[in-house]
Each structure stands twice: as C-alpha cells, then as structure tokens.
Structure 1
Amino acid sequence: MRDLVDLNTHIANAARDRNSPRVVAVLTTRNEERFIAGCLENLFRQGVQVYVCDNQSTDRTLEIAQRYSGAGLIGFESIPHSGWYRWEHLLRRKEELFQSLEADWFMHVDADEIHLPPTSYASLVSAIAAADALGSNAIEFSEFTFIPTREAPNHDNPDYQHTLRTYYPFRPTSPHCVRAYKKQDGPMEIAWSGGHLVRFGGPVRLYPERFRMKHYLFLSAEHAARKYVGRRYLSEEVIGRGWHGWRPRLRSEDIRLPDATKVRATATDDDLDEANPWSAHWLERYAS
C-alpha cells in the first residue's frame, strides 16, 4: 500500500481550494481485492472521496478498503448477498446514497475502473469544477477497455496498471457512460439504465468534453473465468431488461485472447485514443 500520509495530503490540498466542489464516489464491490486499492488510491489522489458498499465479499476487499478510513474513505457498509448478482438492487442503493450523503457532485464507480479527467486538467476535481462553472450537471466518460493479449497473457498481479497496456475504445451507444452528476434536490436515477445514464427531475446538461475511464475487464484468461463464469444473474435483468450482455453465457472454454495486433497499446494515459470505438466487447464474439 502506498503512503497514506501522501493520500491525506492530496485530500487536504483539494479541501483548501475553495473553488473545488466536494466530490464523492459511491463504489460497490464484491470480491475485488485485486482492484480495490488501485481504484481508491486513484480517486483519492485526485481529491475524490469514496463511500464503499460491499456486497458481502468473501475475500479481503473490505479489509483492504477499511485501511483507507481517514484517508479519503468517508464510509462503508455491507449489503447482503443472496447468491445472485442483483445489479438493480445495488444501483438503487447508490441512488439512496446520492440523496443522503453530503457532496456537491457524485460519481458512480466500479472497482475495476480508473477514472481520469481530460488531459487538459490535473485532477478529476478540477475538471468537475470547470464543468460545474459551465452550468453542466452531468459528465460522460469515454471507456477504454483493457484486456491481455496472447503475447502478454497474464497481468493478474498488484502492478496490473503498469504491465497491462493493451486496450480498445468501447462505445456501443452515445452517450455511453455518464458517471458523474451534480447533486440535485430531487431524484438522481441511474438504475433504469443499468448505471450507464442518469435521469433528473429537470434537464440533464452534459459537459461537452468527455472524461476518461480505463476499464480493466479482466487480467488473464483465468481471471476472466473467476470473475464471470458461474456468476448467477437474475432472469428479470438478463431477459427482462437486456442487461449483462455476453456475461451470463460465458464459459471457461469461450475465453480467448486477441493477438496484440488486434488491439491498441498505450505508453501513457495521455495517448489513449477514442477514435473508431468498438461496439461490442472482445469476448462477446465467443460467448455462446
């Protein structure tokens, strides 16, 4: 774990800037011990505080998260796990927290994501302040999906953000990932869209520039199997709402890695290229 004193300094510096909004990310987790520290530390470095809703993880997720209490983690709770992946239930809990937590802006975040501002801004908080000053009340993120390749198949290690550099831009619809929202007096609804879009009582005014989000879909073929195969999805979400895509159909034998020539590579976060995005994930073509 990196120095918590350094993380506290980032939080304190953001708080001293009276132009900075208070931004709180609401993060749901279940068995995310590989990702949780990197996700939290990225947000803290950029002045974002975090509230964690843990869906009864059976690994060290909550133990790792609790180490950051007082260093950007403002609270956590345990949500009972019924044996099924109940995504709508988790999103509705986030909606409740958007109403009850104190913040100027909220973010909807998953543990396998790294959120970044546009390259012209130093931090998420400074970029959100610019969006707020312009009169925007919601922000879309461009998704860059990181997956391993046949040439470099295994990144299931604590240093995955540095070793896994191959990705594709993903944008099946437009807008696709509206993940930051200004606090509203009325409802702030995301469950209706599976967490991709937001609905207010009044108009949604999207900031004209997209922020960036690195999504680490899986770190190796074995990690993909652990993450997706065997997860139990509700039929009302899969069939009734059309959520989760290829994930409920995925089998271990379906998991294949692309050649490096099929995806893009990044040297730094500033060279991520969103042009010509994919409309389907790599594994979708193999899920039977």
Structure 2
Amino acid sequence: MRRLERLVRRLRRRPRPRTIALLAAYNEERFIRGCLEHLIGQGVEVYLIDNGSTDGTARIAEEYLGRGLVAIEPFPREGGVYRWREILERKEELSRSLDAEWFIHVDADEILLPPRSRQTLASALAEAQEAGYNAVDFREFVFVPTRESPDHDHPDYQKTMRWYYPFQPAPGPRLMRAWRRQEGPVGLGSRGGHRLNFPGMRLYPEKFLMKHYLFLSVPHLLSKYGNRSFRKEELERGWHGWRAGLDERRITLPSERELKTCGPDGTLDFSNPRTRHIAAGWTAGE
C-alpha cells in the first residue's frame, strides 16, 4: 500500500504522457459526439479518420477541433467497400508519426474506461508506463437493446440502455487497444485490430474496460451493417464475423432476463462471459 501511495504521489507531480486516440468512423453521427467528449474528458486527445461519411459525422467532429480533436483526416471509401486492414495500417503509421507517448485504437461505438473509477484513461496509462509496461488489454462489455426495451436511438442511450453481457470468445488477451509509442509496426493491421505484437512488448496485468454499444435499435442495426461491403481477403481471414452475413429475418432481441444490468454506480460484472455474440445467430446459415 505504501509503495502504491508513493507511486501515485510521483505521478501527480509529473506531467502525464500525451495520449492520442486513433478513431476511424463511417456514418457515426449517433456516436461521434459522445465518443469525443468521453475521450477528451478522460485526458485523451483524438485524431479522427473519416472513412467517407455521408451523414453529419465530420460536421459534428469539427466542433471539437482545437478542443481535444487534433485533426480530421479524410479516408475515401472506394467503391463503397469497407477496407478495415488499410484503416488499421494507417493507424499504425500515425502512431509512429504523431507526437505522443501513448496511442489508443478505438471505434466510435466504444466507451473505453480505466480499471478503477477514480482514474482517467490518461492517468491509468501513466501508471502502467511508470510500472514498466507498454501495452494494455481491455475487457469487453456489450450493451444491446432488449425485447422489453428495443429502441435507444437517441443521444441519452448510455443512460437508458443498461443491459449487457461480458464477451470473451477465448482465453487470453484479445483487445490490446493501447500501446506506448514504438518505432516499428505493432501488429495492429495484421491482427484485425485485436492483438498487438512488437519486440519488447510488456502487457499491463490489470485489464482496462470497454463498453461496446453495437447498435441502438433494430432499424439502426440494419442501417449500420445491413448493406456494408467487405473485402474478400478480410472475410477469408475470418474478420467481421456476423456483420458480414446479417439476415434481417433472423433478428430476435434478447430478453432482459438473459443479460446483466449496469447499476447506477456503473459497476460491471465480467463473470460467465459469453463466447459468441448474440448477433452471431442472426446470420444466414446459422
């Protein structure tokens, strides 16, 4: 305990290392404001890659330029195809060229949190760095609408959509989303954005947290994933999962009884995680 107290005092005296979240978005006007405000409030700056959005995503993001948003970089969506590997490789390039100590790979429908409630993401990463670590893994909590409460397509979705399931398809680290600056590749582009791999990697033993809001209603689900096109080579790698074969006729929302409930204090329970997404049963051929 005394050692921890001394560490906390040292961290308070030192300037926190600059952290930049690398956020790619396509037509995420529902999520972009909440995502930016959360990250900036956590002491993290944001670099946005706008993947050819045709809605208000870029317009909303522009409000935050100079107020925590570093830049908005256009990334054309050629032929309407989602080029995930190229986006991830661009994030890797940015992590070697931008002037920051830590980088976070994040999507607009994700809320990333430190392991303890009294921390911020920035202070928790500074603590990991002080302890000699250079990579961080996250635990995933997936929030979804339910049969009893099917529509949360509004700005206050985080307050009203409180039902979730912890997700861990296999043992071991799977969401290695934050890393300390490296001179070479970190493996983000070759592993679908899930795992990192670089020389001298030291994974922080304490898990950070991710609240993942896959969709806010069935119409939102269909508009977000129903007509999305993916590159053949990415599908052959097993990337994108249920998103690549969504069948509207098979969609059945879970009951609240099948899920955990996030209480007023925000506590999340990772016991008995699901190994398959609920939406995995909504694809053709399942």
TM-score normalised to structure 2 length:
0.92
The more displaced of 159-168 and 121-130 is 121-130
Q: Does 1:212 align with 2:209?
A: yes
**Is the CA contact (8 Å cut-off) linking 1:140 and 1:210 kept in structure 2?**
yes
**Is the CA contact (8 Å cut-off) linking 1:49 and 1:73 kept in structure 2?**
yes
Match of 1:3 in 2: none
**Is the CA contact (8 Å cut-off) linking 1:46 and 1:123 kept in structure 2?**
yes
CA distance in 2, matches of 1:260, 1:277: 16
CA distance in 1, matches of 2:159, 2:166: 18
1:30-75: CA deviation from partner (whole Å, max 9, x where unpaired): 0000000000100000100000000110000000011001110011
Match of 2:8 in 1: none
1:238-280: CA deviation from partner (whole Å, max 9, x where unpaired): 12x1101111110222221001101111014641011111111
**RMSD over equivalenced CA pairs, Å:** 1.3
**Is the CA contact (8 Å cut-off) linking 2:165 and 2:273 kept in structure 1?**
yes
Q: Which runs of at least 4 in structure 1 moved beyond 3 Å after TM superposition? A: 16-19
CA distance in 2, matches of 1:108, 1:135: 21
Task: Could you tell me which runs of 5 or more consecutive residues in structure 1 were left unpaired when the two chains were aligned.
Answer: 1-15
Shift of 1:176: 1.2
Match of 1:12 in 2: none
Match of 1:181 in 2: 179
Alignment of 1:115-134 (within 5 A): 115-134=112-131
Match of 1:103 in 2: 100
Shift of 1:189: 2.5
Q: Does 1:64 align with 2:60?
A: yes
1:140 to 137, 141, 145: 137
**Is the CA contact (8 Å cut-off) linking 1:53 and 1:77 kept in structure 2?**
yes
Match of 1:88 in 2: 85
Q: Does 1:255 align with 2:251?
A: yes
Match of 2:223 in 1: 226
Q: Secondary structure at the match of 1:28?
A: strand
1:22 to 6, 18, 21: 18
Q: Does 1:45 align with 2:41?
A: yes
CA distance in 1, matches of 2:101, 2:254: 42
Q: Percent identity?
A: 51
**Is the CA contact (8 Å cut-off) linking 1:119 and 1:270 kept in structure 2?**
no
Alignment of 1:189-208 (within 5 A): 189-200=187-198, 202-208=199-205
CA distance in 2, matches of 1:57, 1:269: 35
Q: Secondary structure at the match of 1:141?
A: strand
1:271 to 264, 267, 274: 267
Task: Could you tell me which runs of 5 or more consecutive residues in structure 2 were left unpaired when the two chains were aligned.
Answer: 1-11
2:75 to 64, 75, 79: 79
Q: Secondary structure at the match of 1:132?
A: helix
TM-score normalised to structure 1 length:
0.91
Q: 1:17 to 1:187 in 2, by over 3 A?
A: farther
Q: Secondary structure at the match of 1:145?
A: strand
Shift of 1:187: 2.2
1:187-231: CA deviation from partner (whole Å, max 9, x where unpaired): 22201110001121x132110010011000111111111111111
Match of 1:10 in 2: none
CA distance in 1, matches of 2:241, 2:265: 28
Q: 1:17 to 1:152 in 2, by over 3 A?
A: farther
Shift of 1:19: 3.5
CA distance in 1, matches of 2:75, 2:244: 22
Q: Does 1:55 align with 2:55?
A: no
Q: For residue 84 of structure 2, what is the amino acid of its counterpart? A: W
CA distance in 2, matches of 1:268, 1:135: 35
Q: 1:156 to 1:225 in 2, by over 3 A?
A: same
**Is the CA contact (8 Å cut-off) linking 1:117 and 1:211 kept in structure 2?**
yes
**Is the CA contact (8 Å cut-off) linking 1:28 and 1:54 kept in structure 2?**
yes
1:115-166: CA deviation from partner (whole Å, max 9, x where unpaired): 1101254201111111001111100010000001000000010111111100
Q: 1:268 to 1:31 in 2, by over 3 A?
A: same
